[in-house]
Structure 1
Amino acid sequence: MEDEGLPWSSPKKVSDRFAKNGEDMLEVLVNDIDRYEQLSNREELLALASALAGRDVILEAVALEHVDAVLLVNLEQCGAAIQNPEDLLQNNSNEVNDGSFLQDRYKAVTISDTEQFILDNRNANTRNKTKSDLKMFYEWALSNGEMRMVEDIPFPKLDGLLARFYLGVRRRDGEEYEPDTLSGVQNSIDRHLKDLKINVEIKKHEAFSHSRRVLEAKRKDLKSQGKGTKKKRAEPLDSNEIQKLYEKQVLGAANPTALLNTVWLNNGVHYGFRGRQEHTNLRLGDLKLLKDGSGTEYVEFYGDVRDVTPKMFAQPNSDYCPVKLFKLYVSKRPEDLRSDPESRFYLRPLPNPDKDGVWYCRQPLGKNKLGIMVKTMAVTAELYGRKVNHSTRKTFATTLLQSERPVTEVAQLGGWKSISTLTHYNIPSIKQQSKASKILSEITIPESSNELDAVNLMNKPLTQL
């Protein structure tokens, strides 16, 4: 079938006659793959056109996704028989004649586009971890005379370097790393090589058996020293600790810093924000002030894709209502930033603000400052335990789970993809542990009796021991 009048031209074959090296041959191969894909798409569309025109054609050759309901409706409206498949493609609409019909529906995507799409949508923490671990390895390698990139080092040489790295690398203060940190570097290098399409898995491939044995032995040695035996997990904030933060004026509305801390904490707890990144990315337009059917105000978070957009409802009977404090914070921003949806949400407090005027400057709070918000508050209020930014997300999950909210509800509100992940958050609170201890004590503490009292008198009361 000729191409004349069709909204495309036949793809041209690139000859390999003038290829001078492997790079030229690769370019020819890629061109051939694109050419065959274009020819395949062309044949499917012509087969579809022939089928709709009543031609004798094998319908199995027509991909179902190419059957467009709008296209069929347009055919019925034509009122005339289609004599040639080319007529279908030419006369369906004016858009087809200039090729925009196919261009709008079938976007040209290369293999490199698909690979970049995967990288762009990888978790930001994973990308940062890979980058950080590679930097650590390169710094160590450079200090040992190796300047090549990981992907350029032959496998036997890389295996030896990794074995020496696991055994010899230290923190900047000279201390040993945790066992999981070394395993994390191994995972990051493996992930980096996979991203570059290098067909090797350093965690399984025989070429890296020596470095794996060294890492395994190193992990055992570190654990014998007490490393890696205690999980450094964030601890949630309980009501007593939050009460103390208000009493110390770390939270509240007494000053710009306290108000900033409060809206930050409320966002973290009510929306289940993750550590630092979601706070850093937050814009004013991501939080919308709305009302429900009864007129109660609430602030809804639209900053990411979740099954349910989480909401923070007003508590009208409290002076520390989260919606009231949110509105106060917005009113204390520079006037032109009170309604700019693209402006960063967290702004730096002014050193000497006017009590009745603007409290914050135009400069956004930096990511490093946002990254230690809970730690700074905990130090100021003298809170105990490991209190870090992730404590707010843990407070979100543990509070709801301990209140017997359905686990599916908690997962949807917090944006968890897997319900099983929430098992790490479903831990008993101090009050629940106290209640459990009281129940157990009812078994281990005997009831008072004359015989038991006589024994206690002979052996002195416990208060005198």
Structure 2
Amino acid sequence: MFARLTDATIYQFEQESSQSDDELLTFAEGVSEPVEEPQPRLELEQALEPEQPLEPELALEPEPPLKKPRFKEMPSREHIDMLAQARVEETTKQQTDWGVRLFRGWLTENQYSVKFEELESFILNDRLCFFYPSLQTKKGTDLSKSALVGIRAAISRHLTSPPYNRNVNLMQDNAFMTSNHVITGMIKTLKRAGKDVTVHKKPVAEGDIQRLYSSGVFNTDSPATLQNKVFWDLMLNFGRRGQEGLNSLTKSSFGKFKDDRDHTYHKMTYNEANKTHHGVDSHENRQEVRMYEKSGDENCPVASFDFYVSKLSPKCNALFQQPLLYPKPNCWYANQAMGKNKLSQMMPRISNEAGLSYRYTNHCIKATVGTGLKRAGVDDLTIMSVTGHRNIKSLESYVAGPSDAQRRALSSTLQGVATASNSNESVSKGPSCQVSNVSTCTTLSRNPLSDMSIFTNATITGGTFTINLVHKDLPDSPSTSTAIDKFN
């Protein structure tokens, strides 16, 4: 059957795509192979011509790398506002938000628009005139002077900050004179009513400092008391402000060095940014406070610090860690940093535990630094190098008046002056005066001490004095022995 296949049939099979090569070989039995068409003969010259070598492909030169841009990508407006806000410390931002919330709350309660940032100055001044007298605490009492001044400053900072950037000053512009008169009158009214009980940065008294070391709150044999002492030493020697930056301190924040006389001391290993020093003034880097060791002293701050760091948890990098209730021999503190609120209550807690005469705050320690150095005769610029103040006017608020001992001496002197005045008055009015060791009775018309130059510019603070006097008007009289009352 397959022998009778015609050429047409074979052609048909070759065109069908479903048949395989094996099937086509089966159909090809008895069919002659197709004759190949003869290829054209090459000319002799063309056949003998050698092959031309292939031209090598030219290597493509690599594209030059893109030039690194000279500047960063253009920041967004939101990023610009964020950088402008970074000039203010976090605590200041919190104070600003608090004052603005109070003002918005008052505006809402009195059915005013809360968008006070868009008000004209004279309208804003009128709102503030009614806002300030409406302020009170949650208990219904009057706000203190510092609170009133702080709220006004908070609203002013808010208006001058992004995105508003208004060119106004609530404290100095004439447009706000009326509202400033109102707040000044409120402050004077508080003072006249005896409600101004603000105590500004009270330094730790000398007697309380002695009690701190004698009460056991600075012992180095337990985690809590050792941490108390290190906290006190750092705050005192470096003039730190309140709770600022305490939770940011790490084990490596302070380094150990030696000076030219081989004395060991600790200092900060970097320039710390705080409320006063923002890093924009080249003079800020000149501040270098040192905490020197006291060799042989059991209260040496350097030895206490080194011992404290050796007992910290190796798993936590914070300098102030939670004390363990059951400390281990080589680890007294937990793998957990102390919270910001707990650090802010360090000095109040220490005051209660030591039984001090006053519940001091962390900020009181900085006032202790300024006051103590001032009373020791240190000049203002040197004190500022420790406390970090930028001008003498700011330093004045950290220097307290006379100490308790000086106040006791002043009181005793004034009481002695009053007693002496009464005594002189009775002598001048009486017909005669009886003086011991004098055989004759003499009437004195004036204080015999007034002619004596030895008391010129002298200050008597206490004690019993015996002075031998010879009166000029009585040349033949014996010496007079007069006892001055004891000043206690």
Aligned match of 2:129 in 157, 163, 167? 163
In structure 2, how many angstroms separate the alpha carbons of the residues matched to 1:176 and 1:208? 22
Structure 2 equivalent of residue 65 of structure 1: none
In structure 1, how many angstroms separate the alpha carbons of the residues matched to 2:74 and 2:129? 45
Aligned match of 1:381 in 349, 354, 359? 354
Structure 1 equivalent of residue 378 of structure 2: 405
In structure 1, how many angstroms separate the alpha carbons of the residues matched to 2:230 and 2:113? 48
Give the C-alpha shift of residue 260 in structure 1: 1.0
Aligned match of 1:248 in 215, 221, 245? 215
Range that drifts further, 433-442 or 181-190: 433-442
Structure 1 equivalent of residue 417 of structure 2: none
Structure 2 equivalent of residue 56 of structure 1: none
In structure 2, how many angstroms separate the alpha carbons of the residues matched to 1:254 and 1:314? 19
Structure 2 equivalent of residue 98 of structure 1: 67
- Residue 318 of structure 1 aligns to which amino acid in structure 2? D
Aligned match of 1:222 in 159, 183, 190? 190
In structure 1, how many angstroms separate the alpha carbons of the residues matched to 2:299 and 2:463? 44
Percent identical? 23
- Residues 312, 332 of structure 2: 8 Å contact kept: yes
1:26-425 equivalence runs, <5 A: 98=67, 100=69, 102-103=70-71, 116-146=82-112, 148-152=114-118, 158-195=124-161, 196-203=164-171, 208=176, 211-228=179-196, 230-303=197-270, 304=272, 306-337=285-316, 343-354=317-328, 356-385=329-358, 387-425=360-398
- Residue 313 of structure 1 aligns to which amino acid in structure 2? Y
In structure 2, how many angstroms separate the alpha carbons of the residues matched to 1:211 and 1:407? 36
In structure 2, how many angstroms separate the alpha carbons of the residues matched to 1:131 and 1:440? 53
Give the C-alpha shift of residue 271 in structure 1: 0.4
Give the C-alpha shift of residue 131 in structure 1: 1.9
Give the C-alpha shift of residue 201 in structure 1: 3.9
Distance 1:199 1:314, change over 3 A: closer
Count of residues in correspondence between the two structures: 356
- Residues 463, 486 of structure 2: 8 Å contact kept: no
Structure 2 equivalent of residue 27 of structure 1: none
- Residue 219 of structure 1 aligns to which amino acid in structure 2? I
In structure 2, how many angstroms separate the alpha carbons of the residues matched to 1:385 and 1:440? 31
Give the C-alpha shift of residue 163 in structure 1: 2.8
- Residues 122, 176 of structure 2: 8 Å contact kept: yes
Distance 1:207 1:315, change over 3 A: closer
- Per-residue Cα deviation, 1:218-254 (whole angstroms, up to 9, x for no partner): 33332322233x5421222244322212222211213
SS at match of 2:71: helix
Give the C-alpha shift of residue 389 in structure 1: 0.8
- Residues 351, 358 of structure 2: 8 Å contact kept: no
In structure 1, how many angstroms separate the alpha carbons of the residues matched to 2:75 and 2:345? 42
Give the C-alpha shift of residue 170 in structure 1: 1.0
SS at match of 2:252: helix
- Per-residue Cα deviation, 1:254-280 (whole angstroms, up to 9, x for no partner): 321111111111000000000111223
- Per-residue Cα deviation, 1:57-111 (whole angstroms, up to 9, x for no partner): xxxxxxxxxxxxxxxxxxxxxxxxxxxxxxxxxxxxx99x9264x438xx96788
In structure 2, how many angstroms separate the alpha carbons of the residues matched to 1:443 and 1:117? 61
- Per-residue Cα deviation, 1:1-60 (whole angstroms, up to 9, x for no partner): xxxxxxxxxxxxxxxxxxxxxxxxxxxxxxxxxxxxxxxxxxxxxxxxxxxxxxxxxxxx
Structure 1 equivalent of residue 12 of structure 2: none
In structure 2, how many angstroms separate the alpha carbons of the residues matched to 1:216 and 1:411? 31
1:428-443 equivalence runs, <5 A: 428-431=402-405, 440-441=459-460
TM-score by length of 2: 0.63
TM-score by length of 1: 0.65
Distance 1:444 1:318, change over 3 A: closer
Distance 1:414 1:200, change over 3 A: closer
In structure 2, how many angstroms separate the alpha carbons of the residues matched to 1:180 and 1:302? 35
Give the C-alpha shift of residue 155 in structure 1: 5.5
In structure 2, how many angstroms separate the alpha carbons of the residues matched to 1:360 and 1:155? 56
In structure 1, how many angstroms separate the alpha carbons of the residues matched to 2:93 and 2:314? 37
In structure 2, how many angstroms separate the alpha carbons of the residues matched to 1:391 and 1:206? 37
In structure 2, how many angstroms separate the alpha carbons of the residues matched to 1:264 and 1:444? 41
Give the C-alpha shift of residue 284 in structure 1: 1.8
Give the C-alpha shift of residue 398 in structure 1: 2.1
Give the C-alpha shift of residue 423 in structure 1: 2.8
SS at match of 1:284: coil
1:449-460 equivalence runs, <5 A: none
Supply the RMSD in Å over aligned alpha carbons.
3.8
In structure 1, how many angstroms separate the alpha carbons of the residues matched to 2:112 and 2:338? 40
Distance 1:204 1:248, change over 3 A: closer
- Residues 156, 208 of structure 1: 8 Å contact kept: yes
Give the C-alpha shift of residue 145 in structure 1: 4.2
In structure 2, how many angstroms separate the alpha carbons of the residues matched to 1:440 and 1:408? 29
Give the C-alpha shift of residue 114 in structure 1: 6.4
- Residues 132, 182 of structure 2: 8 Å contact kept: yes
In structure 2, how many angstroms separate the alpha carbons of the residues matched to 1:325 and 1:186? 44
SS at match of 2:322: strand
